[in-house]
Structure 1
């Protein structure tokens, strides 16, 4: 895999030194530039595409959120900041991770690895082929889950619960959006409140869908014909 190209922007030089140190300890990472001046960083980023920007938020002249909005493309982003009140805004901006200073190397390494995973996923979807995992945001960070580990998806209004073998993830997303985003991976709606992977279906009857793991889920009347057509 090609190196993850990174630019870091922080008006505090010790923070930039720490990022340089941490990036130097990681494989497949190329820290191209560091900037204390966010306006200078914006000029560079407008002329040079990078995979990831690591941004402080509270900076003079242009804060990290404003800088991100002014870029002509959308790189991956990790906020690296003392501020805690912008976590919800970061969620809305689809940032990979929100790191609150001080940050140890292991926490930083995990955030960079999430960026690598998400970049790999984003690039692979352009090839229009099935993948063996999905990426999604939950609790302000990107998560990677193997398709084989997914049990079902259940809707609760503006949220969905992704149920896996080991844990449940709450995701701020409507069922219809999830269905549209991942339909090419074999997800199918079986009820107004349930989505499953077709490959995990063992059988179904008039009222239920039975999964290979032994679970039984309701089958909505309006979804019977589409399920039958899909599986046949």
Structure 2
């Protein structure tokens, strides 16, 4: 089993040291970074995909909930905080666990183990044979499109344009919603305005993604490392 990759964010240095100490005692986890500044954490997380973030909530400049909501992808999350009034919000964000400081090692380990088990289950589901088409509504009509026919998806505010080898479909849906709904089929965000199927990617460089059919799309700077990690 691949190690669970973790980033911790807490404006209090002793809390970060305690998380590091706890993580060192748990098998199959890899604490990559610890940040006191949430803005620096967000910048790192935009460039690097991790499995789990352990977040304090009440921090200067940006609280943990805001940080989680601004991320370009949705990792597993454990809130580790002194605050108790955000539990309902945490539930709405589908966090793995909500821990109130101080937290002993066994309680912390149970929360991390829960994240490990959830990730393992998710990967096992994704590895099963997937359908070779998607269904969506466009112009009040349900449409079925084969994955092999989809060229890319482009975002326009509240709408997305799904471009196939035969026609274009305008869909009333945000990019983030489409990405979350169909990411298990191999769709990947390469730019704030573009999503493609990873199986259709031929190559990429510093500013572009090249598809197997010869099309070229822009590669956003904040998505480059995410793309690299996904394809590797």
For the aligned pair, the TM-score class normalised by the smaller chain equals 0.5 to 0.7
Superposed CA deviations along residues 29-88 of structure 1, whole A, max 9, x for unmatched, are 100000000000000000000000000000011100000000000000000000000000
What CA distance in whole angstroms lies between the structure 1 residues aligned with 2:109 and 2:68?
22
- Displacement after TM superposition at 1:127 (Å): 2.0
Partner of 1:21: 21
Partner of 2:71: 71
Partner of 1:116: 116
- Displacement after TM superposition at 1:107 (Å): 0.2
TM-score (norm 2): 0.55
Superposed CA deviations along residues 81-111 of structure 1, whole A, max 9, x for unmatched, are 0000000000000000000000000000000
What CA distance in whole angstroms lies between the structure 2 residues aligned with 1:114 and 1:88?
19
Superposed CA deviations along residues 137-189 of structure 1, whole A, max 9, x for unmatched, are xxxxxxxxxxxxxxxxxxxxxxxxxxxxxxxxxxxxxxxxxxxxxxxxxxxxx
Q: Which runs of 5+ in 2 are unaligned?
A: 130-232
Q: Secondary structure at the match of 2:66?
A: helix
What CA distance in whole angstroms lies between the structure 1 residues aligned with 2:92 and 2:121?
20
Q: Secondary structure at the match of 1:43?
A: helix
The structure with the larger Rg is: 1
TM-score (norm 1): 0.55
What CA distance in whole angstroms lies between the structure 2 residues aligned with 1:37 and 1:127?
36
Partner of 1:102: 102
Partner of 2:58: 58
Q: RMSD in angstroms over aligned alpha carbons?
A: 1.6
Q: Which runs of 5+ in 1 are unaligned?
A: 130-232
Q: Secondary structure at the match of 1:59?
A: coil
**Structure with larger RCO (C-alpha < 8 A, sep 6+):** 2
What CA distance in whole angstroms lies between the structure 2 residues aligned with 1:127 and 1:31?
25
- Displacement after TM superposition at 1:13 (Å): 0.6
What CA distance in whole angstroms lies between the structure 1 residues aligned with 2:85 and 2:128?
38
Superposed CA deviations along residues 203-224 of structure 1, whole A, max 9, x for unmatched, are xxxxxxxxxxxxxxxxxxxxxx
Q: Secondary structure at the match of 1:85?
A: coil
Aligned residues: 131
- Displacement after TM superposition at 1:128 (Å): 2.7
Partner of 1:85: 85
- Displacement after TM superposition at 1:122 (Å): 1.0
Q: Secondary structure at the match of 2:83?
A: coil
Which consecutive segments of 4 or more residues in structure 1 shift more than 6 A? none
What CA distance in whole angstroms lies between the structure 1 residues aligned with 2:22 and 2:45?
22
